[in-house]
Structure 1
Amino acid sequence: MKQSKRTRLQSRLNSLLSLVLLLVLFGLFAWASTQYTIEQDWTRTGRHSLSEASRQVLQQLDQPVRITAYARDDMALREAIRSYVNRYRRFKDDISLEFVNPERVPDQVRELGVSVNGELILRYGERKEHVKNINEETLTNALRRLVRGSERLLVFMSGHGERNPQGEANHDLGAWASQLTDSGFAIQRIDLNRAQTLPDNISALVLAGPEVEVFPGEIAIIREYIENGGNLLWLSDPGAQQGLEKLAPDLGIELQDGVVIDFAGQMLGIDDPTIVLTTPGLYGDSAITADFEYASIYPVAGGITARPSSDWTATPFVTSGDHTWLETGELNEEVSFNQGEEVQGPINIAMALTRELEHGQQRVAVIRDGDFLSNSYYQNGGNLELGNRIVNWLSADDEMISIPARTAPDNQLQLSNTAAVVIGFGFLLVLPAGLFACGLIIWWRRRRR
């Protein structure tokens, strides 16, 4: 049936109207996409979303936060900064972000001490913080420092071959101390033989494994510090304590002889039985390990017990498994448990000590292994997170103790040679051949019609 001119005109008008409506609809969708944002983070560790701990920090901010980003006119860099800041804006809408090209304000850059392209300055009331490396950990830690309002001072005893908080050697604590600095702690080394006193504003004193004898005068200074209510972190490796063993009775503890032996690590490829692997079920009921869900590793650890008649409250927060023991003999490939001569596990590896004084609660943490926070091992499992929790607890920073240190997941897929050959054969030969065969069959059927 032939269409009249009117019918053809109506058909064309309908087509034109449909096209216009479709374009309008696309335009509305495009406009809505610039006005509203819907995001879903499907990554396994949620690394594109704020952690619950970061949200808790934002809830403590009762004033606006002003962020100034000193970044050149580089769209990629500025967009990356804006993307990170927007994660925080979704939970605190009074966070403002301003971009400044540092090349246009050189005097201001020098005055503020800006040294990195993309550096942020966060202002909260009268306080400000610099962020040079932009990620959730550094931004959240900067906000934590703004909330805290003052630095916490950690003093490391030195002069006896202790682990160096600024050192880069495998046994030193430089990497961990750097993390603490980023979290708002000031790090200071002090030789008590020369200084003869400790600073008044100290948050905690750190004893990190002296290798030579500590002088009696230095021991007296430490004992006086403890007697006056000072907080202490004692990283006590097995073996000679170089005079520090005199502190144990003052703290109501006893350092056990021997090295913890743990063969459980062999299931995970750890051949050395002196490396102790602890899992969440082996952590004690302490504020330090509350909701702590990571395994931690302790190379060459010792044991610790509490004296029953002490005025300290002792809480073990890291223990070894039932299958472990304290080996007091020679460490060799044929090491074995000697019933009646050696102590059977579980062994207390770390203990939190508290006592109530007139001015508040005194806190001490004793860990029978200093290697777990060394440059060689601090990134293993939850070692870094646990070390940060210990220091936060010692500095009475309980409200901010649960902010996790993000670690990248294992994204490697391990395939056997057979599996790799099968997958390669399938994708390179079977799949293309199957598609070609399907196309050939469809072509043949159509030709026969």
Structure 2
Amino acid sequence: MRGGLSRLIHALLCVALALLVGFLTTRFGFRSDWSANGRSSLAPQSLELLKRLDGPVEVVSYVGPGGTRRAEIAGFLARYQREKPDISLRFVDPADDPAAMRELGVSEGGEIDLRYAGRSERLTLLSESLVSNALLRLSRREERMVAFLAGDGERKPDGEGNADLGQFTRYLLNQGVRCVPLVLGAGARIPDNTDLLVIANPRVAVAAPVREEIVDWVERGGAVLWLTEPGENAGLDKLAEALSVRVLPGVLVDGTGASLGLGDPRFVVLAGYPVHALTKGLELTTLFPQAVALAQLGAPRWQLQPFLRSSAQSWTETSAISERGDSTVRFDENSDEMRGPLDLGFALSRLSPRPDRREQRAAVIGDGDFLSNQFLANGGNRDLGLRLFNWLLADDSLIQLPPREPADRLLQLSPGRTTLIGVGLLLALPGLLALIGGLTAWRRRRRR
């Protein structure tokens, strides 16, 4: 009787202890990351950034309910929410309103919109580096001013036409970058508060005083982005000379587009990029319709680094190509055509002549269509454009996270050792457990 009561009391105490532990876990939490290199926790740089964010962060994920993608995103962002509880996550199914999603520029693969302090930035991939750096850019309070040269038929920064850049500049505005058209008349100067001057494909020759002011702007240390096109006759030879860049004749043709189903050989698709801070980690393909190849001058006054390069199957086609494409287009060895790989994007940097002696940056790209309303949603065009403007605005002092790859756990075993381990697990270990069980049962019988 006393033994039964003792066992009952013991069971009740165990149940009470379990209930107490369960209650305490709802009031107090403890978490420890034992993964290799701490891969399941945020890096110290990200933790420091979250401490500096003094307002709520809203995350909107455009992902459908099917599959495991929502759970993966929620699990990843839980790391941030543990450190900053006012980070909210909301899922939107793109299939509920496809028209609204197209207007927002949401791709079918799903995107993640980070919103903080009235600004937003959209990500197509998810990683700690991308999320933390996006939050860092959104936390910067100063507004940047980008002037788009206007008056000579350039692409309009606020236009809604297929060739204009209105959709892209709205993304820039969400990041605190204001884009305004700039008409330069005789004797006019580029305002000193301009952070970046953009020349987006003038359709007619730029007036001589304007050309002189643009070159003078560069020589004064101003940042510039020049988007040029095949056959463009804007009279910007002095600008090309100041930037140590030469525009090659003809249109860039790439044979790899045929394997992707592109009928027009003038559509250049890039899936790999030369090593540069601009394209670091960019894994998306980009599309460049009707691009022109570039080359650097023999004695450049800048440090020139290509960041866009065509494949070995490309060349500069100097003959006319129909708009529907021409499957008979071939490289002509007996002409002045040049065979690829060819550069179509240069990033330039040098020590600024301004008193602050900061780095002066410029970029030249042999295509402007990739940022236009018509082609912005293709692949990684928007991502590349945002990277480009961040770099030109010297807004790339980002969080550098150390690589935290899992430790190498590969065991190299000889066939003999593999057999020995198999025999031990399949025969020896079960036999040992059976022997111990038998001995225990035999001893209990003897005691009775």
TM-score interval for Structure 1 and Structure 2 normalised by the shorter chain: 0.5 to 0.7
Whether the 8 Å CA contact 1:324–1:347 is kept in 2: the answer is: yes
Residue 169 of structure 2 is aligned to residue 177 of structure 1: yes
Q: Does 1:347 align with 2:342?
A: yes
1:237 aligned counterpart, secondary structure = coil
Question: How far apart in 2 are the matches of 1:312 and 1:133?
Answer: 32
**Aligned-partner residue type, residue 168 of structure 1:** E
TM-score, structure 2 normalization: 0.65
> Shift of the alpha carbon at 1:376?
2.5
SS at match of 1:315: strand
Unaligned runs of 5+ in 2: 34-38, 59-73, 89-113, 402-448
2:55 matched residue in structure 1 = 67
Hey, what does 2:291 align to over in structure 1?
301
The corresponding residue for 2:367 is: 369
State the shift of 1:289 in Å. Answer: 2.2
Q: Give the match for residue 388 of structure 1.
A: 386
Aligned length: 343
Partner of 1:77: none
What is the distance in 2 between the residues matched to 1:376 and 1:382? 14
How far off its partner does 1:184 sit? 2.4
Measured after TM superposition, the shift of residue 230 of structure 1 is: 0.9
Specify the alignment match of 2:200 in structure 1: 208
1:144 equivalent in alignment to 2:132: no
* 8 Å contact from structure 1 (residues 50, 88) kept in 2: no
- Structure 2 contact 351–359 (Cα < 8 Å) conserved: yes
Answer yes or no: is the 8 Å Cα contact 2:80–2:87 preserved in 1.
no
Shift of residue 381, structure 1, vs aligned partner: 2.5
CA distance in 2, matches of 1:161, 1:171: 11
Relative contact order, higher structure (CA 8 A, sep 6+): 2
Deviation at 1:279, TM superposition (A): 2.1
Q: Once the two structures are superposed, what CA deviation does each residue of 1:420-449 show, in whole Å capped at 9, x if it has no partner?
A: xxxxxxxxxxxxxxxxxxxxxxxxxxxxxx
Distance 1:357 1:197 in 2: 19
Contact 2:229 2:292 in 1 (8 A): yes
Alignment CA distance shift 1:58-1:308 (3 Å): farther
| Ranges in structure 1 where 5+ consecutive residues have no aligned partner | 1-5, 41-45, 71-81, 100-119, 123-128, 404-449
1:237-269 CA-partner distances (Å, limit 9, x unpaired): 111232234421221111011111112122222
Distance 1:339 1:133, change over 3 A: closer
Alignment root-mean-square deviation, CA: 3.9
Q: What is the rounded CA distance, in whole Å, between the counterparts of 1:178 and 1:269 in structure 2?
A: 31
What do residues 271-296 of structure 1 show as CA deviations (whole Å, max 9, x unaligned)?
3211111122xx22322223433322
Matched, 1:160 2:155: no
* 2:118 counterpart SS class: strand
CA separation of 1:141/1:182 partners in 2, compared to 1, >3 Å: closer, same or farther?
Answer: farther
User: 1:121, CA displacement in angstroms?
Assistant: 9.7
User: 1:18-51 deviations in whole A, cap 9, x for unaligned?
Assistant: 58855763664465256448799xxxxx9xx999
Question: After superposition, what is the alpha-carbon deviation per residue over 1:208-229, rounded to whole angstroms, capped at 9, x for unaligned?
Answer: 1122332112112111101111
Give the letter for the 2:376 counterpart: Y
CA distance 1:336–1:186, change in 2 (3 Å): same
Q: Is the 8 A contact 1:157 1:205 kept in 2?
A: yes
1:338 corresponds to: 332
Alignment of 1:278-297 (within 5 A): 278-280=270-272, 283-297=273-287
**What does the per-residue CA deviation read over 1:75-133, in whole Å, with 9 as the maximum and x for residues that have no partner?**
xxxxxxx999864354xx4x57499xxxxxxxxxxxxxxxxxxxx996xxxxxx33579
8 Å CA contact 2:352, 2:358 repeated in 1: yes
Give the conservation status (yes or no) of the 8 Å contact 2:350–2:361. Answer: yes
Please identify, of 338-347 and 160-169, the stretch whose mean Cα deviation from structure 2 is larger: 160-169
SS of alignment partner, residue 397 of structure 2: helix
Q: CA deviation at 1:331?
A: 0.6
Paired residues of 1:259 and 1:326 also in contact (CA < 8 A):
yes
- 1:171 partner amino acid: A
Q: Does 1:328 align with 2:318?
A: yes
**Equivalent position of 1:427 in the other structure:** none
Which residue pairs with 2:225 in the alignment?
A: 233
- Alpha-carbon distance in structure 2 between the residues aligned to 1:175 and 1:401: 28
Comparing 263-272 with 214-223, greater Cα deviation is found at 263-272
Residue aligned with 1:193, SS: coil
SS in 2 for 1:226: helix
Q: Displacement of 1:163 after TM fit? A: 1.6
User: Do the aligned partners of 1:145 and 1:151 also contact (CA within 8 Å) in 2?
Assistant: no
Normalising by structure 1, report the TM-score. Answer: 0.65
Displacement of 1:200 in angstroms is 0.7
Task: Measure, in 2, the Cα distance between the counterparts of 1:401 and 1:86.
Answer: 20
Q: Please state how far the C-alpha of 1:335 moved relative to its aligned partner.
A: 1.4
Q: d(CA) in 2 for partners of 1:394 and 1:183?
A: 14
The share of aligned pairs that are identical, in percent, is 32
Q: How does 1:101-116 map to 2 (within 5 A)?
A: none
Question: Does the residue aligned with 2:308 lie in a helix, a strand or coil?
Answer: strand
Residues 1:315 and 2:305 aligned together: yes
What is the distance in 2 between the residues matched to 1:377 and 1:402? 31
**How far 1:361 sits from its partner (Å)?**
2.6
Q: Distance in 2 between matches of 1:34 and 1:337?
A: 73
Distance in 2 between the 1:312 and 1:188 partners?
Answer: 28
Contact 2:351 2:358 in 1 (8 A): yes
What pairs with 1:427-442 in structure 2 (closer than 5 Å)?
A: none
The verdict on how the C-alpha distance between 1:20 and 1:272 changes in structure 2, with shifts beyond 3 A counting, is: farther
The 1:133/1:196 distance shift into structure 2, 3 A limit, reads closer
1:138/1:182 contact within 8 Å kept:
no
